[in-house]
Chain A
């Protein structure tokens, strides 16, 4: 769907040096949006058509509020496109395509564990809200650079969800010092000790992960070792965002073990962790 999103709020998130923004858009996209889906936003200097930047910018949907016709996008100012986007003011209208992509799947029962690295936390918020509203137990593992980042990137909103949370930072300024995979590993060991047989009362856990590629690869390997299903959210440079240009392919392994390409924009951005080929491209 191509629609206009009315900017109803656009604010800095946390500390200036984190360059994070929260953008709330009002429009029809909210009606069908699912957690894990994204929109592409046309970034323009002014109301007059400009071709620099030419391409729309993909941004995940971080919060969905169909009753208010609102979606929330959380983003980091990275280059020219997001810098221009950051100039959008309340009352402006932005051309958006979407919701696009497939979205996370929700387990029918058991626990959903969210594993985030850095701003990979953003799309997981909508998923947490959805899972909680369906009565699932949700747990968060989130790793980031430092306390300032975590607080800027929405830690307070996560605290309001009152879910069990394990934080880690690279410099140890908040939570455990180290990578997010460490607390995840301990938690997996607790639900599935290496020597135990599958038991009837075993907690059924599914994992949803978003973050840097290396982190998602490690999380996938961990989950596979503990036989826990995992979905990951991939990123790739996009042209059309509807599956027409083949600009955004990722490499997967099919059931027969052959390497194949899938489109991140249309077949993803959410894929089962075990089908992703992390290091090779073909």
Chain B
């Protein structure tokens, strides 16, 4: 029998397999080396960077909830300049696709980062995190307003020749409207979902657990929401989707593929099992073999048929 073809086409790039690791959970690619060889992955997504360095929020930044994790890291990162100087040179040696993740608080922020990250820099694609407040528009999140989201993507598109991935926020009423907006802005690929806004209160101190009060919920608890959004967007928008939210096992990953994701990404699942990405690759391979698929891409969107 011919081995299953796991290669995955995503907005003009070819991945070895459809398994990626998620922004903010996988550092800058070195942290998990003792657990998971990067050449086994389809790609990794780097921690979100901003034009200027950020110290992020005070601790506690994490709160555990049933089958979930709330985080309020506050986009701590070394800033663009330091990223270009100290991190980027090492990235070209990474034996898998490297997706940079950019965040900003104005259109200029996004544009200046896109300008610095081009083909040949060691970066394979640019993921644009639009779940940030637009400080010029009263703090309204780019990711919750279709017009702002479209503008951000257009600003990025104008400055870079890399494929651009729009990372959508689930904290909206109509995810399809947001997906259409970023498509109009020029997005090549969609990533969904980012974390769901939540909070948790300590019964002893009678205060919020997180220093920041609110945090983003991730992990298995959010998976049904993510699968639903991937399904809805896959029905309505003709762009490849990277599905994520609560994946810990190959079964979870297959569920996203069936819902219409072309690739999947693992975030919080790495904390639970640092070898989860390896297990998922193997599990998907076996599933395809047992069911007689010659390519993993045959699974994409299967649940929509009939």
Q: Contact residues of A with B, CB < 8 Å?
A: 1-2, 42, 49, 51-56, 95, 97, 236-250, 259, 261, 266, 281-282
Interface CB pairs A-B, < 8 A, 10: A49-B249, A51-B219, A51-B272, A242-B34, A244-B26, A245-B25, A245-B271, A248-B62, A249-B61, A261-B76
Give the nearest-CB partner of B74 in chain A: A246
Closest CB in chain B relative to A254 CB, distance in Å: 13
Residues of A contacting B273 in the complex (Cβ-Cβ under 8 angstroms) = 2, 95
B31 pairs with A244, CB closer than 8 A: yes
Q: A236 to B66: give the CA distance in the assembly, Å.
A: 20
Give the nearest-CB partner of A81 in chain B: B64
Quick check: is B87 within 8 A (CB to CB) of the other chain?
no
Residues of B contacting A52 in the complex (Cβ-Cβ under 8 angstroms) = 66-67
B62 pairs with A238, CB closer than 8 A: yes
A261 pairs with B274, CB closer than 8 A: no
Closest CB in chain A relative to B144 CB, distance in Å: 24
Q: Contact residues of B with A, CB < 8 Å?
A: 24-27, 31-32, 34-35, 47, 55-56, 58-64, 66-69, 71, 73, 76, 211, 219-221, 248-249, 268, 270-275
Q: A102 to B94: give the CA distance in the assembly, Å.
A: 25
Which among B60, B62, B248 has the greatest number of chain A C-beta atoms within 10 A? B62
A246 pairs with B47, CB closer than 8 A: yes
Closest CB in chain B relative to A175 CB, distance in Å: 30
Give the nearest-CB partner of A236 in chain B: B59
Partner of B76, one of A97, A240, A246: A246
Give the nearest-CB partner of B270 in chain A: A240
Q: A261 to B27: give the CA distance in the assembly, Å.
A: 15
Residues of B contacting A245 in the complex (Cβ-Cβ under 8 angstroms) = 24-25, 27, 62, 71, 73, 271
Residues of B contacting A248 in the complex (Cβ-Cβ under 8 angstroms) = 59, 61-62
A247 pairs with B71, CB closer than 8 A: yes
Which among B61, B71, B73 has the greatest number of chain A C-beta atoms within 10 A? B61
Closest CB in chain A relative to B33 CB, distance in Å: 9
Give the nearest-CB partner of A79 in chain B: B64
Q: A266 to B55: give the CA distance in the assembly, Å.
A: 17
User: Total A-B pairs in contact (CB under 8 Å)?
Assistant: 108
Q: A248 to B61: give the CA distance in the assembly, Å.
A: 7
A242 pairs with B272, CB closer than 8 A: no
Residues of A contacting B55 in the complex (Cβ-Cβ under 8 angstroms) = 259, 261, 282
Residues of A contacting B220 in the complex (Cβ-Cβ under 8 angstroms) = 51, 54
Give the nearest-CB partner of A237 in chain B: B62
Q: Interface SS of chain A: helix, strand, loop or mixed?
A: loop
Residues of B contacting A53 in the complex (Cβ-Cβ under 8 angstroms) = 64
A2 pairs with B61, CB closer than 8 A: no
Closest CB in chain B relative to A241 CB, distance in Å: 8
Q: A248 to B211: give the CA distance in the assembly, Å.
A: 13
Closest CB in chain A relative to B75 CB, distance in Å: 9
A239 pairs with B248, CB closer than 8 A: no
Beyond A242-B274, A244-B32, 19 extra complex contacts between A and B, CB < 8 Å? A1-B34, A2-B35, A2-B273, A2-B274, A51-B66, A54-B69, A54-B220, A54-B272, A55-B271, A237-B61, A238-B62, A239-B268, A245-B24, A247-B61, A247-B62, A247-B71, A247-B73, A248-B62, A249-B59
Q: A51 to B247: give the CA distance in the assembly, Å.
A: 11
Q: A138 to B47: give the CA distance in the assembly, Å.
A: 43
Give the nearest-CB partner of A51 in chain B: B67
Residues of A contacting B272 in the complex (Cβ-Cβ under 8 angstroms) = 42, 51, 54-56
Q: A73 to B139: give the CA distance in the assembly, Å.
A: 47
B27 pairs with A54, CB closer than 8 A: no
B26 pairs with A237, CB closer than 8 A: no
Q: A95 to B273: give the CA distance in the assembly, Å.
A: 9
Give the nearest-CB partner of A242 in chain B: B31
B61 pairs with A246, CB closer than 8 A: yes
Give the nearest-CB partner of B272 in chain A: A54
A282 pairs with B58, CB closer than 8 A: yes
Residues of A contacting B26 in the complex (Cβ-Cβ under 8 angstroms) = 244
Residues of B contacting A237 in the complex (Cβ-Cβ under 8 angstroms) = 59-63
Closest CB in chain A relative to B96 CB, distance in Å: 16
A249 pairs with B60, CB closer than 8 A: no
Q: A95 to B211: give the CA distance in the assembly, Å.
A: 30
Residues of B contacting A243 in the complex (Cβ-Cβ under 8 angstroms) = 27, 31
Give the nearest-CB partner of A53 in chain B: B64
Give the nearest-CB partner of A264 in chain B: B59
A244 in contact with B25 given A2-B35, A54-B268, A249-B56 (CB within 8 Å): yes
Residues of B contacting A261 in the complex (Cβ-Cβ under 8 angstroms) = 55-56, 76
Give the nearest-CB partner of A240 in chain B: B271
B64 pairs with A240, CB closer than 8 A: no
A54 in contact with B73 given A239-B271, A244-B270, A261-B56 (CB within 8 Å): no
Residues of A contacting B69 in the complex (Cβ-Cβ under 8 angstroms) = 54-55, 239
Closest CB in chain A relative to B216 CB, distance in Å: 12
Give the nearest-CB partner of B60 in chain A: A237
Q: A261 to B75: give the CA distance in the assembly, Å.
A: 13
Give the nearest-CB partner of A55 in chain B: B64
Residues of A contacting B275 in the complex (Cβ-Cβ under 8 angstroms) = 2
Closest CB in chain B relative to A251 CB, distance in Å: 8
Residues of B contacting A281 in the complex (Cβ-Cβ under 8 angstroms) = 58-59, 211
